[in-house]
Amino acid sequence: MDKGKALHFLFVKSETKTPGGLAARPVLTSYYKSNHFKNRPFDAYNNYTSPTADIEAGSLTPRVTDPSVREAVAGILRADPELAALVRSECSKGDWAGIITRIWPSTKYLDVIVTGAMAQYIPTLKYYSGGLPMACTMYASSECYFGLNLRPMCDPSEVSYTLMPNMCYFEFLPMDSAAASGGDASQLVDLARVEVGREYELVITTYAGLNRYRVGDVLQVTGFHNSAPQFRFVRRKNVLLSIESDKTDEAELQRAVERASALLRPHGAAVVEYTSQAYTKSIPGHYVIYWELLAKGPAGGAAVGEGTLERCCLEMEEALNTVYRQSRVADGSIGPLEIRVVRPGTFEELMDYAISRGASINQYKVPRCVTFPPIIELLDSRVVSSHFSPALPHWTPGQRSDSD
Ligand code: AMP
């Protein structure tokens, strides 16, 4: 750390306004746009050199038009055609496996968050980095900073966060009672009284004024640092699909499928079963929804054409939350939603497969989201057609965003 350099990607997202006129934006956007960040005192560890400059010519890209920014970097730029040639040749090889260490051979580790929903990006990060260690250092939210990983170089599967008791007042709702009682305050447990092995939902009371606010995260106590409990991030309650800061739960996905499937009715078809996948193998990632269709009535479903299914994709997007639509429209960080139609009987095969692996036939429920590779392979091998949303859904900057 004392001699190193880091490449950080800092994402500033678009802002919205609340009905009362307050700016609503994610915490990091707020920080990077603040004077606190822009006029910070010199710090050798956080000495940023962006924006990008043309390495070959030693000049700033013409896309940067702000004169003060151009002036600030003009003095420190120099041409480095050799380095530019190396970058160009490595990037034009087509195969980007290990690109990070090919371009920056002394890279020691990746500073990332790959616990929880972001664990889906571990294979991609391994691919581009050639297997560099991944340090997950912190656990935080827009509402409050929660904790730190005191063993940052451990494997992502072993990460535990130590909550810092000065950040807010932490309380915990045992998961068994959270489900049974709907979250009765009398069940709340203090930070000092959590038990190793148990799962809890995190509840915070913050300096900014949130009172017993349910963050929506489920944590499991793994041990102690001195007497401070440590937690593994288990999952976000009720979140099925997430590509970026979007969080889509089961009820919302269900509503979106219902709204879109109404478009099939005039064609004598219906959605009999569905499931979904957050597809992140291409960039940007996108939602994939698997549909098994039932053809009813004289039209026999035969009339469901490409155009209708494309409209269904867009209709689902219109029904999803504002954060999803903002990422689609303003940020471009989520790609068009895709419907993959699977052949009749596929979901029965899925059930047979689950039962063959030990699921109980009485309790079997169609998973509304799939992550297990053999199940995804099974579904993909039964796909008869696939369709993408042909346009952007509606989103206006004036709308309040749920996650902000
Ligand atoms: P946001 O409110 O958009 O800032 O997102 C905060 C949420 O992101 C938290 O409540 C968690 O669900 C998730 N999150 C933040 N840090 C981590 C982490 N280290 N591991 C897993 N999930 C995290």
Q: What is the 3-state secondary structure (H, E, C) of 270-329?
A: EEEEEEEEEECCCCCCEEEEEEEEEECCCCCCCCCCHHHHHHHHHHHHHHCCHHHHHHHH
Per-residue pLDDT, 384: 94
Give the single-character DSSP code of 351: H
Please give the distance of CA 404 from its chain centroid, rounded to a whole number. 15
Per-residue pLDDT, 183: 65
Integer angstrom CA distances of residue 81 from 50, 55, 58, 73, 91: 19, 7, 9, 18, 15
CB 396 within 8 A of CB 356: no
Per-residue pLDDT, 2: 64
Ligand 1 center from residue 142 Cα (angstroms):
8
Ligand 1 center from residue 236 Cα (angstroms):
8
In angstroms, the CA 253 to CA 366 distance is: 14
* Both structure tokens of 362: 């009485």
* Residues in the ligand 1 pocket, defined by CB under 6 Å: 26-27, 113, 115-116, 136, 139-142, 215, 217, 233, 236, 245, 403
Ligand 1 center from residue 191 Cα (angstroms):
19
**Which of 139, 200, 333, 401 is the pocket-test mutation for ligand 1 (most atoms within 8 Å of CB)?**
139
For atom 9 of ligand 1, which residue has the closest CA? Answer: 141
Q: 5-33: per-residue pLDDT in tens?
A: 778 887 787 788 888 988 888 888 888 88
Please identify, by atom number, the ligand 1 atom nearest to the C-alpha of residue 28.
4
Give yes or no for residue 1 having a pLDDT over 60: no
Per-residue pLDDT, 402: 44
Q: Where are the domains of the chain?
A: 16-110, 136-236, 250-388
DSSP H stretches of helix in 327-372: 346-356
Give yes or no for residue 107 having a pLDDT over 90: yes
For atom 20 of ligand 1, which residue has the closest CA? Answer: 115
> Mean pLDDT in the chain?
88
Residues near 22 by Cβ (< 8 Å), separated by ≥ 6?
A: none
CB 300 within 8 A of CB 380: no
Q: Is 305 exposed, middle or buried (0-12, 13-18, 19+ CB in 10 A)?
A: exposed
Tally the C-alpha atoms within 13 A of residue 23's C-alpha that lie toward its C-beta: 11
Give yes or no for residue 170 having a pLDDT over 90: yes
* Both structure tokens of 404: 């902000």
Helix (H) or strand (E) holding 248: strand 248-249
Please give the distance of CA 328 from its chain centroid, rounded to a whole number. 13
**Per-residue pLDDT band at 230 (split at 50, 70, 90):** very high
- Main-chain phi, psi angles of 138, to 5 degrees: -140, 160
**Which of 170, 233, 244, 403 is the pocket-test mutation for ligand 1 (most atoms within 8 Å of CB)?**
233
Residue 310 vs residue 94, higher pLDDT = 310
**Per-residue pLDDT band at 168 (split at 50, 70, 90):** very high
Ligand 1 center from residue 325 Cα (angstroms):
20
Ligand 1 center from residue 207 Cα (angstroms):
19
Q: Kindly report the number of other CB atoms within 10 A of residue 120's CB atom.
A: 18
**Per-residue pLDDT band at 214 (split at 50, 70, 90):** very high
Distance from the first to the final alpha carbon of the chain: 33
State mean pLDDT over 237-247: 88
